[in-house]
Structure 1
Amino acid sequence: MSEKYVVFDFETTGFSAQKNEIIQIGAVKYDENDVELARFNQLVKNQRSYVSSEITQLTGIRPADLLSQPVIEQVLPKFLDFIKGHLLVAHNAPFDISFLYQAIIDCAITDVEAFRVYDTLAESKRLLQMKSYALESFKDFLEMNDLRSHDALNDCLVTAKLYQYLQEIEQPKAVSMLTEPEQMDLFGDISDEITDTLRRKLNLPITKNLVYYRQDSERIWQQFDISGIRIEREYSTGSSLSITLYNDEKLAIHSDFLKEMQKANFLTDLDENQSNGKN
């Protein structure tokens, strides 16, 4: 079910919530329809740790940039008010949540609501097949390469797009119902014929047979030729398809995953991801 949510990200002086601290808070608030409502972007003055040259190189934040910024005790109450009552979304959420809880403890803030958290890293590993699940790897996938990585606000925008993409896979939002003539115009026809027009629309190869892969009972990969494709629903990120195999078996699949299956190295990449635990 759709709900209001806040995508958030912290830039920090290191990886330990106890030894290091937050130096930038970024957050973007959305309504139930994925419409952006507000942004929160604040640098935070460090107090118990230093900003190393490695952190500066990674984030672009210099020690001098933080000298005149408010400390966490001044920023955190405003951030908690910003996220109150919303689902929290983050990429590698346990990292950011650990810093959030430590900041709450350090600031001696009580009566904080229990957080509900969605981790796009864990969910993308469950729903997608990628060579890398680092947030930066999704920028090309989501066509957001214009944003610089390791800026808290920019990372929020990428994470938000990823969250919306994952939600459409799990809980598709169908396009408005169309009359039959409009459907004919949109899809060309309502048959399962694999035309060149359909291939181009779905970014599938034009000149070779389309294939589908799955494992048999002995976990050996089997390849099946595809004899038909029908677009069932279109979303802002891809389409929900019904495909027909050579033996007339019909299956549902997302267009992006079908496109990945057509790559020559699909099985190699898939086996490597599985053997590495998708890390």
Structure 2
Amino acid sequence: MSKREIIFDTETTGLDPRGGDRITELGCVEVIDFIPTGKDLRILINPERDIPAEVTAVTGHTREMLKDEPVFIQIVDQFLEFIEDSTLVAHNAMFDMGFINMELERCARPIIPKSRFIDTAAMARAKYPGSPASLDALCKRFDVSLDSRTKHGALIDSYLLAEVYLELNGGREQSLSFSGSEGGDGKVVYPVRAPRPKSLKSLVSEQERAAHAEFISEMDDPLWQSLGLLKADAPAE
């Protein structure tokens, strides 16, 4: 059964959702079995507050730029319809979860439980202990191009994270499907092919059979003949 997940990212006015900071941009990318489907969502949001200059330097967002965009309560249904009940994958997911759930609470909507979030930063730290686990560092580790990113953007970062998430789960090779099934010892077990209901007619002519017998007779007691492993008149399969 295919697994649908949503890779997502937020851009915000700051670091503290409980201290008045708000979301300015949402980016979501649908992946099925770790592969992006091409279905995505990007929403710019009016945070209804000032944006510090140091944040603008990172995201490019200004209050003037976002003043005519919808506020969160106007796009909440669009966001929830897109994510459905899928698992949400984010880098430093608890940060994004804090902002998403703060905004949902402000809209009097149920928050999303922690169990629905996967944190790729935690995955990277567990897989590569002691190594940098930022999104940029992981993109460099996995040769994911950063050419499309001039500033941090929620949708751009979501697409970058989708490639990183695939690599953290084994890369494209993990999605290959084999006809056998995995046994208890980890080996691939292939089902035994049922025998043909009727043997195929032999295509060996009498002349070929005689020539083969003559050739064998000239050999010095071939082992496969004494064991009955080779018979000139055996039907083909």
Whether TM-score is above 0.5 comes out as: yes
1:70-85 equivalence runs, <5 A = 70-85=70-85
* Greater Cα offset, 88-97 or 131-140: 131-140
How far apart are 1:41 and its partner, in Å? 0.4
The answer to whether structure 1 residue 103 and structure 2 residue 103 are counterparts is: yes
Distance 1:96 1:132 in 2: 20
- Tell me which protein shows more strand as a share of its residues: 1
Match of 1:166 in 2: 168
Report Cα offsets for 1:241-261 as digits up to 9, x if no partner: xxxxxxxxxxxxxxxxxxxxx
The answer to whether structure 1 residue 127 and structure 2 residue 127 are counterparts is: yes
Match of 2:43 in 1: 42
Distance 1:94 1:111 in 2: 13
How far apart are 1:175 and its partner, in Å? 4.6
Quick check: which has more Rg, 1 or 2? Answer: 2
Match of 1:137 in 2: 137
Secondary structure of the equivalent of 2:102? helix
* Greater Cα offset, 105-114 or 10-19: 105-114
- CA distance 1:53–1:20, change in 2 (3 Å): same
Gaps of 5+ in 2: 179-237
Aligned-partner residue type, residue 147 of structure 2: D
TM-score of the aligned structures, taking structure 2 as reference length: 0.67
How far apart are 1:38 and its partner, in Å? 0.9
Distance 2:109 2:126 in 1: 35
Match of 1:32 in 2: 33
How far apart are 1:2 and its partner, in Å? 6.0
Distance 1:146 1:164 in 2: 19
Aligned length: 176
How far apart are 1:115 and its partner, in Å? 5.5
TM-score of the aligned structures, taking structure 1 as reference length: 0.57
Match of 1:250 in 2: none
Aligned-partner residue type, residue 90 of structure 1: A
Report Cα offsets for 1:130-186 as digits up to 9, x if no partner: 6421112223223322131521011101111111111117x9627566xxxxxxxxx
Computed over aligned residues only, the root mean square deviation of the Cα atoms, in angstroms, reads 2.6
Distance 1:141 1:176 in 2: 26
Answer whether contact 2:29 2:36 (CA < 8 A) is retained: no
- CA distance 1:130–1:162, change in 2 (3 Å): farther
% identical equivalent positions: 29
Distance 1:111 1:11 in 2: 19
Match of 1:94 in 2: 94
Aligned-partner residue type, residue 35 of structure 2: D
Distance 1:84 1:123 in 2: 24
Query: Whose relative contact order is higher, 1 or 2, with alpha carbons under 8 Å and at least 6 apart?
Result: 2
- CA distance 1:176–1:52, change in 2 (3 Å): same
Match of 2:15 in 1: 15
Gaps of 5+ in 1: 178-279
Match of 1:152 in 2: 154
Aligned-partner residue type, residue 159 of structure 1: L
How far apart are 1:84 and its partner, in Å? 1.1
